[in-house]
Amino acid sequence: MTDDNPSHERDAGADVVIGDSEEAVAPPQRRRLALFIGGGVLIVVGLVLGIWAFLPGPSEPVAGPTPSVTPSETPIATPTTTTSVAPESTATAAAEESDEGATESAPPAEPDAATAVINSFTVSPETAVCADDRASTVALTFSWSTSDAEVAWIAEGTNDASVQPFEQVAVNSSSYTGLEYECFAQEQLFTLTVRGEAGNTSVSVSVVRQLD
């Protein structure tokens, strides 16, 4: 009985030893496997790095041809200067309206005063034939025509019959015989003066003596 148990115990110890040997052998295998895997990874990383190192870098952009600006042949529009007429100022317009109003409201101007006109004044004869140069006389005939005359005078020896009148006469006459030529004078001046709204107008004629 004694022998059997020790043997069994040895066998059990042997088994234990054997089990420890297997456990001791297992870790190196794992380490080799891990080294193998790690080496493989390192190799792959090295290959990748090598390939990346030999790849060409990013190329710089090549400058293309610079586009040239061609001047346009379109004609440039010439600015047009427009002159505008400024409207008249309000003051000017008001002044013109005021002037127009004053003109319209002003009473109509009175017509100009008529000027008396002597259309004709004649005497016959223009030469008095005298028998002597003393007291003889020669009959004369006067005629005249006037326009716009209100009154008339006739006189001898003056240029204004209204100042020294011989007689006030009609404004028109064709046969006035109120004056005579007096032969003691070599020449006599006879004047007709008429008056109108604008004043006096005078015309004179001369008669000369001729001895018979």
pLDDT tens digits for 141-152? Answer: 999 999 999 999
Per-residue confidence at 27, pLDDT binned at 50, 70, 90?
Answer: low
pLDDT tens digits for 28-40? Answer: 777 777 777 877 8
pLDDT tens digits for 129-171? Answer: 999 998 899 999 999 999 999 999 999 999 999 998 889 999 9
pLDDT, residue 49, reads 80
Sheet holding 151-156, edge to edge: 127-130, 199-211, 187-196, 151-156, 167-169
Q: State the chain's mean pLDDT as an integer.
A: 75
pLDDT tens digits for 73-110? Answer: 544 545 444 444 444 555 555 556 655 554 555 666 66
Write down the pTM of the prediction.
0.49
How far apart are alpha carbons 89 and 99 in whole angstroms? Answer: 15
Which fold does the domain 117-211 belong to in CATH?
Answer: Immunoglobulin-like (2.60.40)
Q: For residue 204, give the H/E element and its range.
A: strand 199-211
